[in-house]
Amino acid sequence: MSVLFKWFSRFAEFVAAMMMAVMFLTFILQITIRYTARLEWLPDIVPFLDPNLYGWTLEFNLMLWVWIVFWGNSFVVRERDHVTFDIIYGAVNPTVRKWFAIIGALAVVIAFLVSIGATWDRFAILRLKRTATLDMLFGDWVRMRHVYSIYIMFMVVVALRYAARAFNAWRYGAEADLHHFDEMSKEPTAADEE
């Protein structure tokens, strides 16, 4: 199971990196077109540099940004990578910390699962709304529902992750949440610097 999880984790990181690379290349294309657009004679000589062909780049980058954020928070960003305000959480005894972790995780699970229905209803409306410019790139079939469909997956994955967190806290306690504080508080030794 550990090998499968590691493989999927690497795959998720690869997908996020590829989306970022495509977004960066599209951004470079936008800059190129923006500066070549000032040369009014250039599209006559090089037709693919016509600025009218690249209106889709802004909306495409916005779509990629939405996908990167929700994909990354679903599969790449670890729980310990999030900013937390846990002064009280770290100060209480392990039993109270365990219940804090269980109750907090279950609250997230319930909130996400309850909101899936309302989100899905909103997606029914989005199936009718076309994107402004992405049809130039993908054709006429792309709707706003496709652009934001990653959010449904995000809600399901986060609910599952927090359900697993509640289960692990129930079985093993919540002490694993504190281990990175020990790593941060260690003074570097000569062996660490080598």
Higher pLDDT, 182 or 169: 169
**Residue 37 pLDDT grade (very low, low, confident, very high; cuts 50, 70, 90):** confident
Phi, psi (degrees; rounded to nearest 5) at 144: -60, -25
Rg, the chain, Cα only: 23
**Which of 46-50, 55-59, 89-93, 128-132 is the most confident on average?**
55-59
Span 81-105, pLDDT tens digits? 777 777 777 778 888 989 998 999 9
**Which of 11-20, 73-82, 83-92 is the most confident on average?**
11-20
Q: What is the 3-state secondary structure (H, E, C) of 76-121?
A: HCCHHHCCCCCHHHHHCCHHHHHHHHHHHHHHHHHHHHHHHHHHHH
**Least confident range of 7-16, 165-174, 176-185:** 176-185
Higher pLDDT, 187 or 26: 26
pLDDT of 72? 95
pLDDT of 52? 78
**Residue 49 pLDDT grade (very low, low, confident, very high; cuts 50, 70, 90):** confident
pLDDT of 122? 85
Query: What percentage of residues in the chain have a pLDDT greater than 90?
Result: 42
Two structure tokens written together for 191: 């062996």
Q: What is the pTM of this model?
A: 0.78
Tell me if 65 sits within 8 A of 23, measured CB to CB: yes
Per-position b or e across 136-151, b if 16+ CB within 10 A of its CB? bbeeeeebbbbbbbbb
Query: What percentage of residues in the chain have a pLDDT greater than 70?
Result: 90
